[in-house]
């Protein structure tokens, strides 16, 4: 059985990741390719609800290490299901995953929480076949709703941006990474650019259980 590809869309808050994940899933579907789109954190599980509370209620405190492990645990909760889908030939498009996990936690600058510490709890998760990293140069502050959740401050986002570049250098194979600069582009332009990066990977065939792992 030929397996589906694992495609990850990563990036800073408010770069249009979710819109693009949905557009990509629609396009794959239109091309007759079975596809499942999902996002991390998945706020539906009990762990996800705890993460949601932490993100939305700034008075709810948890140690940074514990929060990191919750985000990681949330990925482990769903990976078996995602692997099954891939093995059945379905493409999986993810909105955030391991690289967000490391970048946001390491950006806090907590003693001991360096990139390697942050990576440990995700060791053994499936590696994406392609990571699309959306980046922009716009000011974030003016966007609707920005600032409502924890981490949504320009100061912190700048730290995350710097960490993302270290994280991708350290843990993402350059052949499996595609940077998409969304500055000044409308939704359709970004979608077209993303599609042009997807087309080459549609051609290669990977067999069931032929995965790489972090």
C-beta closer to ligand TMP: residue 151 or 211: 151
Distance of closest approach, residue 12 Cβ to ligand TMP, in angstroms: 9
| Contact assessment for residue 107 and residue 156, using Cβ atoms and an 8 Å cutoff | yes
C-beta closer to ligand TMP: residue 13 or 193: 13
Distance of closest approach, residue 40 Cβ to ligand TMP, in angstroms: 4
State the Cα–Cα distance between residues 41 and 14, nearest whole angstrom. 15
- Per CB under 6 A, the list member of 11, 21, 71, 131 interacting with ligand TMP is 71
Distance of closest approach, residue 124 Cβ to ligand TMP, in angstroms: 16
C-beta closer to ligand TMP: residue 40 or 91: 40
State the Cα–Cα distance between residues 34 and 11, nearest whole angstrom. 25
C-beta closer to ligand TMP: residue 3 or 8: 8
Binding residues for ligand TMP restricted to 96-115, rule: CB under 6 A: 96, 100-101, 104
State the Cα–Cα distance between residues 187 and 185, nearest whole angstrom. 7
C-beta closer to ligand TMP: residue 71 or 91: 71
Which positions from 180 to 209 touch ligand TMP by CB under 6 A, shown as an x/- string? ------------------------------
Token output for 55: 């993100």
**Helix H or strand E segment including 11:** strand 6-11
Token output for 194: 């993303």
Binding residues for ligand TMP restricted to 18-47, rule: CB under 6 A: 40-41
Which positions from 146 to 185 touch ligand TMP by CB under 6 A, shown as an x/- string? -----x----------------------------------
| Contact assessment for residue 90 and residue 29, using Cβ atoms and an 8 Å cutoff | no
Q: Among 156, 201, 151, 193, which residue's Cα sits nearest to residue 176?
A: 201
Helices marked H in the chain? 17-30, 46-56, 64-87, 98-106, 115-120, 154-171, 187-203
Token output for 172: 């993402």
- Residue ranges that bind ligand TMP, judged by CB under 6 A: 13, 40-41, 55, 71, 96, 100-101, 104, 151
């Amino acid at each position: 059985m030929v397996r589906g590809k694992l495609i990850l869309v990563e990036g800073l808050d408010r770069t249009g990741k979710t819109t693009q994940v949905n557009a990509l899933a629609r396009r794959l579907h239109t091309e007759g390719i079975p596809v499942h789109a999902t996002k991390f954190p998945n706020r539906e599980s009990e762990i996800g609800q705890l993460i949601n509370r932490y993100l939305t209620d700034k008075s709810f405190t948890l140690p940074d290490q514990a929060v990191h492990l919750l985000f990681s645990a949330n990925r482990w909760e769903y990976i078996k299901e995602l692997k099954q889908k891939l093995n059945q030939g379905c493409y999986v498009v993810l909105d955030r995953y391991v690289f967000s996990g490391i970048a946001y936690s390491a950006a806090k600058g907590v003693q001991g929480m360096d990139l390697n510490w942050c990576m440990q709890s995700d060791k053994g998760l499936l590696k994406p076949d392609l990571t699309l990293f959306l980046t922009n140069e716009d000011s974030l502050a003016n966007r609707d709703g920005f600032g409502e959740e924890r981490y949504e401050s320009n100061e912190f986002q700048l730290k995350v941006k710097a960490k993302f570049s270290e994280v991708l250098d350290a843990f993402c194979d350059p052949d499996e990474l595609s940077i998409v600069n969304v500055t000044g582009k409308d939704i359709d332009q970004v979608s077209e650019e993303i599609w042009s990066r997807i087309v080459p990977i549609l051609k290669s065939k990977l067999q069931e259980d032929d995965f790489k792992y972090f």
